[in-house]
Amino acid sequence: MNRDTIVQLIAPVVMVIALAGSGLMLPGLLRQSEASVLRYTNTTVEGAPPWVAIGTAIGAVRGLIVNILWVKVNAMKEKGLYYEVMADADLITKLQPRFAAVWGFHGHNMAYNISVATSTQEERWEWVNAGIRLVRDKGLRYNPNDMSLHRELAFWFGHKIEGVADDAHIFYKRMFCREWHGLLGEPPEEYQERIAWMRKVADAPETLNAAEQRTPGVNALVARLRQALESDETRKKFELNSVFLFTYSHWMALTQLSEAAKILGVEQQTRAEIPQFVLFDEIARDPAAADAWDTLLAHVRKRVLKDEYNMDPALMTRYTEELGPIDWRHGQAHALYWARKGSEMGAGRVREYDINIVLNNDSAQMHAMQDLARYGRISYDPFSDELPGRFPDPRWIDTIDRLFEPMYLKHINVPGAGGERFITFLQNFMSSAVREWYRAGETERAEAIMARLDKLFGGTGPTANRRWTQPLDVFVRTETFDEYQSQPHLAPSDIAASLRYGFKVGILSGRPEVLRDALKFVKEVTDWYKGNDWYDYINRFGEARMADLIGSVEDSTEMAYLQMITDPGINMTDRRTLWANTDKIEGEATGRAPAVRAMVYDRVRPALMRQFQRSELSAQITFEQAFPAPPGIENARQVLLQRQQERQQAIDQARERDTQARRGGGL
């Protein structure tokens, strides 16, 4: 046996030993890299497109190209060449998908810089939504542990959509609410039912085959849908995606929930425009298909959330359980989701010198919950062009109170007054909570918060802060209009809380003067709001950027009554009493013929009926006996129709002005 033969025999043995040795060493290396946070993420990206592999294959050259492009992109940004940076920024994300900063830069450029340079609200929304989708659906798939990217996304939801700085913010709120109402439908009011509603999606089958195994008949249902929808004249391929969910939600609103659709009489026209509605009439109302339909919807919602929105239904459910009654039609719900997820996914991956990233991310969570407390309850009609109703949800006050101390202690030693930021937040928020509880008639809770604030921040001696020791009514009166000056968008929550108290206590206690005082306060705030210089500001799209946040006293009164009579926190027997005695107390409080029940009846009936059917009272009497139709409904419907027509006319006129201005070069 010659030397070459010996080498050839030994070489495979050495190779096997080396491979085995490297395999034994790999777990230890992975543990060390994990402990030292040396990997980009804690997970790999499944299904990465080919350009990711290409970018990896070119090795060190890729870094040089990315550096050159990054310098070029920043230079163009400084010159205001926002459209021009798109191609280069997109190329960077392809070459270096783990470069989180460029995803944030690219998304911000679309949502902020390019959006405001467009001519219409629709175009603005397309760019804002494109920036959000870029980071949420793509950037975070490749950088799931980057906390700063989560924080950036949370900020856009809270500032761009839920803020009031953008001229088109009213339009954004309408479109965002429409999108998520279409995806998930209207959530239950009761907290435990809302958790169960979200858990149904989280626990849904991952695949159609699994759905069929859980509920036999799902595949047959899908076959019926596919056969009917693929055989129509459009010849479009049937898919179980977000479009399917939007169409189903639209059908639900038309047939069961939409007060605007009934008033405007659009059902026949809509059915002619959307042939799927006829199919839904047949299948969704088929008792034999009810279980299969329920399983299919939960499955599709789960897949759409995961595949199209990069959101985890299990995490959405857990946050609802841990924090509060999240309504996913609200932009701040998504700000809270992404900020909190960023804290969890990025834990241990932020260096000490970047501790402010953690501070900013935790601040985003607290501010999101603050806004959910102030206007986290949504009332929405998909067929209406009005701003979705937004009302206080005091349940979030207790959540903030519970989470404040852990957040404060976490950041107490952060350089730059990290702890002070949370102290200031607590002072401002809990002071506003005092006002809200006072307006809602919860004086004991309001005084308890003041006592706690005084204990924490009042101090003793000649330098003590006496802010929280003054009489409750004096404190509220002083704080109210002072805060409105800097944050006028808080006025609607005070209006809603005051009216709720006026109706509830005024009617249940037989005290019309309580309702009279509430209406007086609402008129004062509304008049003050409308008397400010910024109230008459009309943006370039013909909309009032601030005026639309508060309607007339009549609008506010109707929406507050609607929210109160469907509030699960009030037992059904008390709500029946409220309904029965409203006309008498309203008439005595206003000196006019009562109208509020008739004005809200069509809007409130579907939700109230569903709640009534689940109550013990339904075993004793019918819904019509408990909540009979009030007098004056036909006249109320005519008034509502006139209002809707006037609003639509104003919208059409604004659009026409916008079109004429663009044609004349005004925009």
10-residue block means of pLDDT along the chain (667 residues)? 66 66 53 46 47 50 67 74 74 79 86 84 90 92 92 94 85 92 89 94 95 93 82 66 88 67 63 72 82 94 96 97 95 96 83 73 90 85 74 83 82 71 80 79 84 80 76 80 66 80 84 87 81 60 59 84 83 88 91 90 87 84 92 88 77 68 53
Determine the Cα–Cα distance for residues 222 and 241; give it in Å rounded to an integer.
13
- Give tens-digit pLDDT for 291-330: 999 999 999 999 999 999 999 999 999 999 999 999 999 9
Question: What does the angle CA 479 – CA 485 – CA 491 come to, to the nearest 5 degrees?
Answer: 70
Tokens 């085995």 belong to 20
What distance in Å separates the CA atoms of residue 493 and residue 440, rounded to the nearest whole number?
10
> In the structure encoding, which two tokens stand for residue 235, read together?
């010849």
What SS3 state is found at 119? coil
Could you give the CA distance from residue 452 to residue 468 in angstroms, rounded to a whole number? Answer: 9
Per-residue model confidence (pLDDT) at position 37: 45
DSSP per-residue string spanning 48-87: --HHHHHHHHTTHHHHHHHHHHHHHHHHHHHTT-TTTHHH
The pLDDT, as a whole number, for residue 340 is 95
Amino acid at 202: A
Burial of 20 (0-12, 13-18, 19+ CB in 10 A): exposed
CA distance 553 to 232: 48
pLDDT at 540: 59
Closest CA to 263 of 383, 388, 386: 383
**DSSP three-state, residue 349:** coil
* CA gap 356, 352 in Å, rounded: 9
Q: How far from 37 is each of 31, 45, 148, 204, CA to CA, in Å?
A: 10, 17, 16, 34
pTM of the model: 0.72
- Measured CA to CA, the distance from residue 607 to residue 568 in angstroms comes to 11
Could you give the CA distance from residue 519 to residue 124 in angstroms, rounded to a whole number?
Answer: 38
Closest CA to 608 of 640, 559, 562: 562
What is the rounded CA–CA span in Å between residue 199 and residue 360?
Answer: 30
- Cβ atoms of 336 and 326 within 8 Å: the answer is yes
How many other C-beta atoms lie within 10 A of the C-beta of residue 402? 10
Per the CB < 8 A criterion, the answer to whether 158 and 375 are in contact is no
pLDDT at residue 282, as a whole number:
80
Structure tokens given for 626: 């408990």
Read off the pLDDT of residues 484-532 as tens digits, 9 standing for 90 and up.
Answer: 666 666 677 778 878 888 888 888 888 888 888 888 888 888 887 777 6
Q: How many CA atoms lie within 13 A of 544 on its CB side?
A: 17
Helix (H, G, I), strand (E, B) or coil at 581: helix
Residue 82 C-alpha from the chain's centroid: 28
Taking the C-alpha atoms of residue 516 and residue 498, their distance in angstroms, rounded to an integer, is: 11
- Integer Cα distance of 9 and 11 in angstroms: 6
For residue 636, the Cα-to-chain-centroid distance in whole angstroms is: 32
Q: Which residues contact 539 (CB under 8 A, 6 or more apart)?
A: 167, 168, 545
- 234 phi/psi in degrees, rounded to 5: -75, -25
Which helix (H) or strand (E) segment holds residue 377: the answer is strand 377-379
Reading the block at residue 398, the tokens are 């207790």
440's CB contacts (< 8 A; 6+ apart) are: 392, 394, 497, 498, 500, 501
The torsion of the CA quartet 357, 361, 366, 369, rounded to 10 degrees, works out to 170
Residue recorded with tokens 């550096």: 67
Residue 39 has a pLDDT of 46
| Cα first-last separation, the chain | 89
**Contact assessment for residue 364 and residue 155, using Cβ atoms and an 8 Å cutoff:** yes
Hey, what are 62's tokens?
Answer: 């890729």
Q: Check: CB of residue 372 under 8 Å from CB of residue 555.
A: no
Whether 144 contacts 42, CB under 8 Å: yes
Q: What is the pairing mode between strands 389-391 and 377-379?
A: antiparallel
Q: What is the pLDDT of residue 554?
A: 86
